[in-house]
């Protein structure tokens, strides 16, 4: 079955760090454009980052310099290292992908990150 399963969310203090993972099955993360998209409670969707199949990465301005996207090809996993977390980073984080283009036909169920003291 083709699916994405996120993990690693939780409660973290402002200024802290957290590492999210997204395990893929049924396809190779190295062959797809893999993205993180977040959704603050009761709000809309915000794209966070993408890693292209060739390894190039892009970030939203709101997270650039604080978040790092990567993938572990042997484990078939997408990661998001989040540092210097702020209250406004509180959201459900989804990993998502599409084939060859940057629309998303496959989403995980998301993992909740709460940044609060």
Partner 1 sequence: DIVMTQSPDSLAVSLGERATINCKSSQSVLYSSSNKNYLAWYQQKPGQPPKLLIYWASTRESGVPDRFSGGGSGTDFTLTISTLQAEDVAVYFCQQYYSTPLTFGGGTKVEIK
Options 22-30, 44-52, 67-75, 81-89: segment touching partner 1 (CB under 8 A):
44-52
Q: Which is nearer to partner 1, 55 or 74 (CB)?
A: 55
Strands, DSSP E only, in 13-98? 18-25, 33-39, 45-51, 57-59, 67-72, 77-82, 91-98
Establish if 27 lies at the interface with partner 1 (CB under 8 A): no
19 contact partners, CB below 8 Å, separation of at least 6: 8, 79, 80, 81, 82
Q: What is the smallest separation between the CB atom of 13 and partner 1, expressed in angstroms? A: 27
Per CB under 8 A, residues contacting partner 1 are: 35, 44-47, 50, 58, 60-61, 94, 96, 98, 101-105, 107-110
């Amino acid at each position: 079955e083709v699916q994405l399963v996120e993990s690693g969310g939780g409660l973290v203090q402002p200024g802290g760090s957290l590492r999210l993972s997204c395990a893929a099955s049924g396809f190779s993360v190295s062959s797809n454009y893999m993205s993180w998209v977040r959704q603050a409670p009761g709000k809309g969707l915000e794209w966070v980052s993408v890693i292209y199949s060739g390894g190039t990465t892009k970030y939203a301005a709101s997270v650039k310099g604080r978040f790092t996207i990567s993938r572990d090809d042997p484990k078939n996993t997408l990661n998001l290292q989040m540092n210097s977390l702020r209250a406004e980073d509180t959201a459900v984080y989804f990993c998502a992908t599409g084939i060859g283009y940057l629309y998303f036909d496959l989403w995980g169920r998301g993992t909740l990150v709460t940044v609060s003291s």
